[in-house]
Amino acid sequence: MGALSGVFAPFAISASALTAERLRMDVISNNIANANTTRTVEGGPYIRQRVVFSPRFDATPAFSSFIPTMTPDGLPAGVRVTGIQKDSSPVRMVYDPGHPDANAEGYVAYPNVNAVNEMVDLISASRAYEANITAFNSTKSMAIEALSIGK
């Protein structure tokens, strides 16, 4: 790894986190939007989704050939989304015999989405996103200061 990769690595790390947290906020927003969806294309109610992160250990460059995905010590350089999983918790069964999706006993299967938990997750993702913007901007300021040393 050259000096160029050392300069841009923090930007790549923050950018990977910004991308991952943005996807997390999109998935949480989708969960909230479908909190009362009782009928989907697959059949049954909407099932809550969650984003799974992992450290970036792969050798694939983040943006170009000079930006690493691992530090010189072999530590991960950033985060990546490894998948979006469906939540396995049970759906809510609500007695509503007049609902078009009610079963023979009069119960309707509602999504396993808890709006309060989703809002907490959304705040957490938003704060993580803001923290990574701060880290990115701090790195940018340090790079600008370093470049101005030679003036």
Cα Rg for the chain, rounded, in angstroms? 22
pLDDT tens for 2-50 read 444 566 778 888 888 999 999 999 999 999 999 999 999 998 999 999 9
CB atoms within 10 A of CB 31: 24
Q: Say what the pTM is.
A: 0.80
Residue whose tokens read 């250990």: 57
Contact yes or no for 104/39 (Cβ under 8 A) = no
Q: What was the pLDDT predicted at 149?
A: 85
pLDDT tens for 100-137 read 999 999 999 999 999 999 999 999 999 999 999 999 99
Residues spanned by the domain of 59: 3-148
Number of compact structural domains in the chain: 1
pLDDT tens for 90-110 read 999 999 999 999 999 999 999
- The total number of residues written for the chain in this structure: 151
